[in-house]
Structure 1
């Protein structure tokens, strides 16, 4: 009986040792395998926004964005957004450009820059 248990334990340990480690996607850096759900949700929220108007001159521009839920958001270069992971980088007539605030720590996003074009 002892011999039988020893043989079963050896066979089991040999199978465990010969299993391949899980494969990873070679196009994603090794330390990043999954994006936190909050980051992906915020990116999708931003992609659903529609730039409806921009007014201003020089470095003093203001924009109006309509969110998916119908709410309006007034954006300006140094005004905080209702987003945590994104910031408004560039606002000019006809476009608003948002960038990832934490490029180094969350490079798992599909995009690091999102640009909204003026739509009527």
Structure 2
């Protein structure tokens, strides 16, 4: 009986050890490990941007962002961004705030809002 119990215990533990959950990065939270790679890449992309200029008044503001590769993006509230997971939430003189589109559904990223300040 002890032998049968030992064999079953070994088989069960071998099955548990081969589960896919052990193949994830143990230093990342489980939710972050399930985050789509594209979402993480977009977050890093937005964090690498530099807000270089903002003009306008009232609700009609335009801004210019310089990307890490040296390219430029013109941003405005009514103009869509070249992003899927992030959107321009607020644009005022000196700052642009981007929000995670999926924040209301529970996000897998470390932040749901990124604010860029004007750099000179």
If the length of structure 1 is used for normalisation, what is the TM-score? 0.78
2:97 counterpart residue number: 97
Q: Quick check: 1:35–1:106 contact (8 Å CA) kept in 2?
A: no
SS at 2:69 equivalent: coil
1:3 counterpart residue number: none
Inter-partner Cα distance in structure 2 for 1:10 and 1:36: 42
Question: Tell me, which stretches of 5 or more residues in structure 2 are unaligned?
Answer: none
If the length of structure 2 is used for normalisation, what is the TM-score? 0.78
User: Which protein has the bigger helix share?
Assistant: 2
Pair 1:36 & 2:36 matched: yes
Question: Tell me, which stretches of 5 or more residues in structure 1 are unaligned?
Answer: 1-6
Pair 1:15 & 2:10 matched: yes
1:111 counterpart residue number: 111
